[in-house]
Structure 1
Amino acid sequence: MPKDSVIGTSTKRREDKRFITGRGQYTDDIVLKDQTYAAFARSDVAHGKIVSIDTSAAEAMPGVLAVFTGEDFAEVGGNPAGWLIHSRDGTPMTEPKRPVLAHGKVRHVGDAYAAVIAETAEQARDAAEAIDATIEELPAIVDLRQAASDTSNRVHDEVASNVCFDWGWIEDNRAAVDEAIKGAPHVTTLELRNNRLSPNPIEPRCSIGDFNPGTEDYTLYTTSQNPHLTRLLVCAFVMGIPENKLRVVAPDVGGGFGSKIYHYGEEALVLAAAKRIGRPVKWTCSRSEAFLTDAHGRDHVTKIELATDFDGNFIAVRTETFANLGAYLSNFATATPTFLHGTLMAGNYTVPNVYVNVKGVFTNTVPVDAYRGAGRPEATFSLERVIDKCARELGIDPIEIRRKNYIKPHQFPYTTPVALEYDTGDYDAVMDRLEAIADLSGFERRLNDSASRGKLRGLGISSYIEACGIAPSNLVGALGGRVGLYDAATVRVNATGTISVMVGAHSHGQSHETTFPQIVADRLGIDESKIEIVHGDTAKIPFGMGTYGSRSLAVCGSAVVRATEKIIAKAKLIAGHMMEAGDAEVDFEDGVFSVRGTNKNVPFGDVALKAYIPHDFPLDRIEPGLEETAFYDPANFTYPSGCYACEVEVDPGTGKVEVMSFAAADDFGNVINPMVVEGQVHGGIAQGIGQALMENAVYDENGQLLSASYMDYTMPRAYDVPMFKVDHSANTPCTHNPLGVKGCGEAGAIGSPPALVNAVIDALQRAGRSSVTHIDMPLTPSRVWDAIHNS
């Protein structure tokens, strides 16, 4: 390791040079020779039987090359869910087919039932509008509880009900939890909704399909967080293309937040169309289409009960959740409300009894899948809100009740009643840091200042823990995962000493081109500028499982470490040969190989060159070249944690909430680049504030999305968020990966919503509105005003 390690240094983001100068290349920037364009005819009703589709007018329009309907794909496979969930009675979940194009029925507004391929995008859109479809409208299924109980009106006629699964975790805990709650001195009950969100990455989805009839090779350029998974799904399940005949390229991607992990039907459509017409086919999603087709996030209705003694010691937690799956099963849809949610319901606490029930329900709405945090924000929000309500009922300080129940450092490794083993943490130390940076001792002064201006001030606290580094394969396999969740890296040392690192993870804002070189540079003792990161192309990179779940550094970064270790081991053989010593006698430090106990040494660059000029190699012992690949499958999840504090002002005359300050203390394990970590936390908190105060994807009783544009769906802007105070000094390194890292990308979105809602409730209760114990997100001015004046 070099004397001046680059690990822990805030080096500037290398990728920003091309982004801020307009030199990035996104999928929509790609223009292939003889490229054509696709447009889709989409349902304007939420639920309906397709009686007929007349495409004759569209086919006769200028520039039209082909028209597809669902019947063209009736015999191909469907896009599957990635996790098999079993209900409490042991029966497997229901898995209705998700077609490329709807046939038989449309199941949500925006469901595509036909596609047009034309010479220009304008011609394709005009022709799509000319398709005459007769759709017999059926009653829309929107309300979760009603959908769960109604077996006569079903989203999918081929299954018996709208309930995909009725999952219990852990079912063996159920009787003990029921008994503990029944006999508890105090039980706090809270019913809440985790509001539905539209992901809204800055870059809409885009896909280009290309087919080479000479070689029968397909190429898909697409906005994906996970190109290898897309290739696997298209080949193995949707289209039956031999996997070696499909190349998936995900170039620069302008944000994803989870919405670009999964495969969408438009990707298969452009591939099929390219083969049929013999020309490349591009589809670029409009913002209006994105609201109606990108998988949404959250949308849970939950009842949570927290049993305690009168001193606030936790006895049991029981939850019942209805989770909206939307009209079809998206790839991670079944994992998000179950194993990424229920397994976190113990939080940071020594609660001895936990039982979680989740009913996954089909509705006539856009499919719901992973969105930043993916299950962990839902668990944290439920738990941290009921803890705060319990503290008020018992008259205990919100920080005190949390500290009283924290898992203590001497208890690690700690196995929770919901079957996770936390390896390390110090939650009291993180809370200590929060209290310091948030200046909680000065709150009373700020409270009085707000009151002097006619504003109600409140303070909200939350703690969180999350399971990150979504892996390991053996564990997710036992929990129903249908794919492995390792990752891979190849480190190629070129003859001149420069290095190419091919990684399975994909960067769409995570700064891989900055942080991964820091890892390699640290271990090889060379300058970061000599290291190139290659990602996003299945023809160039080893098989990897993409970027989501704060897994890039913990899983793919660890693969980079392992591959680099192999490079060093082989380089020692070469260096030993050059210095006439055995490799066991060779040390490596600060980019220089040396023979122990002598003054013989050779720099890394000379060894790299020698690897490719092996004139005198003993070929029985040393192969030419210097390139190594490693696959890394971790032993456990990683468990970042944190404590957040939010202060708000509420205007009692209008109900408007203003976030006055926000402090976040996190434990991310070892930190590679503090600047990148801070940026990730800032972005997550901004999204959490958006969910808590303004964002809401709302359907009416007919299944029409009422918030289907930026006129109605409110995104946070710069003036909606304060300057954040961020601290990650109370870190406890992860014990089971070589970097000691835990993951930071989703933390801000997990810990911020409950802190903010707790702050608003605190402000109202301090103002005498003691009956206001909860307001559902988003806390819009009208909802808060109503709570103030009708309490």
Structure 2
Amino acid sequence: MTIGTSVKRIEDPRLITGKGQYVGDIKLPDQCEAVIVRSPHAHANILRIDTEKAKKLPDVLMVMTGQDLPKDLSPIPMRLAPNEALTKALQYPLAKDKVRYVGEPVVLIVATSRYTAEDAADLIDVIYEPLAPITDVHTAIQSDSCLLHPEIGSNDLFLIHSKKGSVDEELKKCRYILEEELYVQRHSGIPLETRGLLAVVEENKRLTVYGPTKVVHFNHQILAKLLKKDSQDIRFIETDVGGGFGPRGEFYPEDYLIPYAALQLGLPVKWIEDRLEHMVATNHSREQKHHVVVGFDESGRIHALRDEIFVDTGAYIRTHGVTVPVLTQGMFPGPYDIDALEFITHVVATNKTPTGTYRGPGRFEGTFVRERIIDMVAKKLNLDPTVVRERNLIQPEQMPYTNGISALGQVVEYDSGNYPQILETARSAMDWIHFAERKALAAAEGKIIGLGFAMFVEKSGLGPWEFCEVEILENGELSCKTGLADVGQGVKTALAQICSDQLGIPYSKVTVIHGDTDVVEKGNGSFATRGTVVGGSAAWYASEALKKKLLQVAADVMHLPSDDLDIKNQFIIQISNQQNLCPLDDIITECRNQRVELREKYTFSIDHMSYPYGIHAAEVAIDSETGKIKIEKYYIAYDIGRAINPLLVHGQLVGGMAQGLGGALFEELRYDENGQLITGSFMDYLIPSSMEVPEIEIEILENSPSPLNPLGVKGAGEGGTVAVAPAIANAIINALDKYQINITSLPIRPEVIRDAIIKGPVTIEEEQT
């Protein structure tokens, strides 16, 4: 068996030897380069665009404005969580009469070289009439005179209201009520490779586009619809991808503009996003304000929780629709059994870059808020925060457990899990029972240390389906065609292991093909931690069907019952006596002689998501002079039901933690009052380096397999990210428990910690107050 084994990634040899091919590596004859002129204003009317000087520049082939787009062009549609009420806030590929954020595309220029296109961009004269920008959600809601989308009638674009039980009635019964406001800052994925596309019109007039990823088949259909072409006349080819993380691979304005330009010119057109463009144009994420009211008793048991959430969605609704706010609500309760819940979420338009998903969308935000609230409850009652968690956890016998809140079209129903067990695992791993003693000893030596925990429940395996086709080739190796995309998560290795287990062949003899719409007939793509759960299950069943064909032929040849036969290590074996009967190659040859088609397809459908769960724990040391945080020990325990390849899971958790650390301590896309992004370069937008990311102790648990798929798997892609911020925040508060500090916003800045230390420990009188 290869499932459950930490075999090496089959993707890596080609990549680490420099043989990868990214979209920027492709060079075609007569290839042109595109540049986008973007708005320098957060909010302005476009009075006039003078393109004449640019058009006259030698080697400029096209200058296109919003007025040059087809008159019947539709805006870019929603892919996830669509809602008819939001269609009036969708974005067109080029701004026409108004710009609504810094970085919005205004003019497309195509020239024989990038240098010429850049020179032409400098000659474009756009006359703007600046308008007052709105950069705060509360100001946006209160504004009647400055509406970003007047057809909707409010900047409060959409309201999502979910509830379980009566919060008001439960609050009346609670002895203690805590009310708090918390904030998660705007930041996003920063892949090593920025976005890029190369579109070429072939001799047969078909359009080929290199560079799509994540949701290749879906974007293929969107482009066909926008271009009003038959989808058979367009081919998408996924190249290697230097990081995805959510923002990469969605359908952006450039995904229409570059193919459209290629069709108009009849020449290959390439566009590669530079880093500044990435900062202002690629989806941002995360920014939310939470107003939480929670009612609890003297034991720490929480009976009621209400959260009014304000989501800064930016200037337009992009392809994710309202996925992030919906997931914030649906997953907010986490592993806790709370009697009454209510969520009121405002999706608010502002003059900022539109937002979308980023690793752990909605859960990063909700987990920070919820796990900080848990520690606040514990502090209010002077209780051990792990005990407060324990007293509120859903118990194993309650599974499957419905939290009463809907997300992505279904009520959240946790499929399996033992939350108390994983909490105890973490307490033991961090030696929590003795930490107070270690903290006191450290304090005697002038050191400040703290330990914090944060629990979470993730979602994975979003359906409704995924496709796989497997075929034994003439050389005896296996081809596995999948509707998934490869954004670095090891999809080739995982699927190869699954096929290998079914068909008894080495995983190295499986070639996984993806992302080519001419070769793979359909697919939903790689997002929402769905690859192994849904795509892996499709590969499992397709391989199983092919295996049955092989075993039936073997049974006929050997005059044995097929249910007493299996394939192991490239041999047909008899199950009853575990003897090798003949090489698999002999049966493959016999199948070909009998003209048995050695190919099978399977579309795996799933109605409900699966829910992995885990816990993060951080031990930190604080420099009393600077407020700098050093992570002394970091621990993650994660139950994913079943690990196809523990090495891949480990890598996902380490990488995820690094991104979560960025969101906790460093990264922020900050705007000034004029709507200008003031952290638009790596001089200002800080990301953690290898010096800041600690060694991470990881326990991959398989105690609660999912009953919803044949492999028992749950996804592992986002659990490393979602609980980093509250684990570190809780550790800091634990370290500074004698000081006046309450962390309610991200990122956590050293100056906040330093200022608390400078003020000195809280006196007994202040503590009582």
Q: Is the 8 A contact 2:504 2:567 kept in 1?
A: no
Equivalence for 1:240: 228
Matches within 5 A, 1:154-165: 154-165=147-158
1:462 and 2:454 matched: yes
Equivalent of 2:79, from 78, 82, 85?
A: 82
Equivalence for 1:105: 98
Deviation per CA, 1:545-590: give whole Å up to 9, x if none: 1111111100100000010111012222322333345645655455
Tell me: CA distance 1:453–1:102, structure 2 relative to 1, closer, same or farther (3 Å): farther
Equivalence for 1:774: 743
3-state SS of 1:103 partner: coil
3-state SS of 2:36 partner: strand
Q: Is the 8 A contact 1:49 1:138 kept in 2?
A: yes
Matched residues, percent identical? Answer: 34
3-state SS of 1:720 partner: coil
Deviation at 1:607, TM superposition (A): 2.1
Q: Is the 8 A contact 1:156 1:162 kept in 2?
A: yes
Tell me: CA distance 1:491–1:755, structure 2 relative to 1, closer, same or farther (3 Å): same
Equivalence for 1:129: 122
1:737 and 2:724 matched: no
1-structure distance, mates of 2:702, 2:725: 22
Equivalence for 2:767: none
* TM-score after normalising by structure 2: 0.95
Q: Is the 8 A contact 1:433 1:727 kept in 2?
A: no
1-structure distance, mates of 2:590, 2:603: 27
3-state SS of 1:53 partner: strand
1-structure distance, mates of 2:456, 2:21: 37
Q: Is the 8 A contact 2:741 2:753 kept in 1?
A: no
Equivalence for 1:502: 481
Deviation at 1:660, TM superposition (A): 1.6
1:606 and 2:586 matched: yes
Equivalence for 2:408: none
Equivalent of 2:421, from 413, 426, 429?
A: 429
Matches within 5 A, 1:161-560: 161-170=154-163, 173=164, 176-212=166-202, 214-236=203-225, 238-338=226-326, 340-418=327-405, 419-448=411-440, 450-452=442-444, 454-471=446-463, 473=464, 486-560=465-539
Q: Which amino acid aligns with 2:583?
A: P
Q: Is the 8 A contact 2:448 2:621 kept in 1?
A: yes
Q: Is the 8 A contact 2:641 2:701 kept in 1?
A: no
Q: Which amino acid aligns with 1:80?
A: P
Q: Which amino acid aligns with 1:328?
A: Y
Q: Which amino acid aligns with 2:113?
A: T
Tell me: CA distance 1:585–1:434, structure 2 relative to 1, closer, same or farther (3 Å): closer
Equivalence for 1:480: none
2-structure distance, mates of 1:551, 1:396: 38
2-structure distance, mates of 1:285, 1:182: 55
1-structure distance, mates of 2:434, 2:697: 15
3-state SS of 2:691 partner: helix
Equivalent of 1:60, from 47, 56, 62?
A: 56
Deviation per CA, 1:134-188: give whole Å up to 9, x if none: 0111001110111122121012233311122011013xx37x1222123322122
Equivalence for 1:783: 752
Equivalence for 1:656: 628
Equivalence for 1:476: none
Q: Which amino acid aligns with 1:759?
A: A
Matches within 5 A, 1:33-48: 33-48=29-44
Equivalence for 2:696: 724
Deviation at 1:336, TM superposition (A): 1.2
Deviation per CA, 1:416-458: give whole Å up to 9, x if none: 2223211110112212221232232442354245435544211
Equivalence for 1:481: none
Equivalence for 1:692: 664
3-state SS of 2:736 partner: helix
Equivalent of 1:14, from 10, 14, 32?
A: 10
Deviation per CA, 1:235-258: give whole Å up to 9, x if none: 23x322211111111111010100
Tell me: CA distance 1:595–1:722, structure 2 relative to 1, closer, same or farther (3 Å): closer
3-state SS of 2:555 partner: helix
Tell me: CA distance 1:112–1:29, structure 2 relative to 1, closer, same or farther (3 Å): same
Q: Which runs of 5+ in 2 are unaligned?
A: 406-410, 763-769
2-structure distance, mates of 1:412, 1:600: 43
3-state SS of 2:450 partner: strand
3-state SS of 1:115 partner: strand
Tell me: CA distance 1:674–1:372, structure 2 relative to 1, closer, same or farther (3 Å): same
Tell me: CA distance 1:778–1:241, structure 2 relative to 1, closer, same or farther (3 Å): same
2-structure distance, mates of 1:13, 1:76: 43
* TM-score after normalising by structure 1: 0.92
Q: Is the 8 A contact 1:27 1:223 kept in 2?
A: no
1-structure distance, mates of 2:16, 2:565: 45
2-structure distance, mates of 1:117, 1:383: 49
Q: Is the 8 A contact 1:81 1:334 kept in 2?
A: no
What RMSD, in angstroms, separates the aligned Cα atoms of the two structures?
1.9
Q: Is the 8 A contact 1:95 1:164 kept in 2?
A: no
Q: Which amino acid aligns with 1:31?
A: K
Q: Which amino acid aligns with 2:518?
A: A
Bigger drift between 696-705 and 425-434 goes to: 425-434
Q: Which amino acid aligns with 2:375?
A: D
2-structure distance, mates of 1:276, 1:310: 70
Q: Is the 8 A contact 1:497 1:604 kept in 2?
A: no
3-state SS of 1:416 partner: strand
Q: Which runs of 5+ in 1 are unaligned?
A: 474-485, 615-622
2-structure distance, mates of 1:653, 1:716: 21
2-structure distance, mates of 1:493, 1:518: 15
Equivalence for 2:766: none
Deviation at 1:782, TM superposition (A): 2.1
Q: Is the 8 A contact 2:167 2:340 kept in 1?
A: yes
Equivalence for 2:600: 628
2-structure distance, mates of 1:758, 1:100: 44
Count matched residues: 753
2-structure distance, mates of 1:245, 1:26: 23
Tell me: CA distance 1:597–1:257, structure 2 relative to 1, closer, same or farther (3 Å): closer
Deviation at 1:205, TM superposition (A): 0.5
Q: Is the 8 A contact 1:227 1:250 kept in 2?
A: yes
3-state SS of 2:404 partner: coil
Deviation per CA, 1:62-93: give whole Å up to 9, x if none: 2101111111224311111224566xxxx944
Equivalent of 1:667, from 636, 639, 661?
A: 639
Q: Which amino acid aligns with 2:217?
A: H
Bigger drift between 590-599 and 754-763 goes to: 590-599
Equivalence for 2:765: none
Q: Is the 8 A contact 2:641 2:714 kept in 1?
A: yes
Tell me: CA distance 1:64–1:392, structure 2 relative to 1, closer, same or farther (3 Å): same
Q: Which amino acid aligns with 1:438?
A: M
1-structure distance, mates of 2:676, 2:193: 24
3-state SS of 1:578 partner: helix
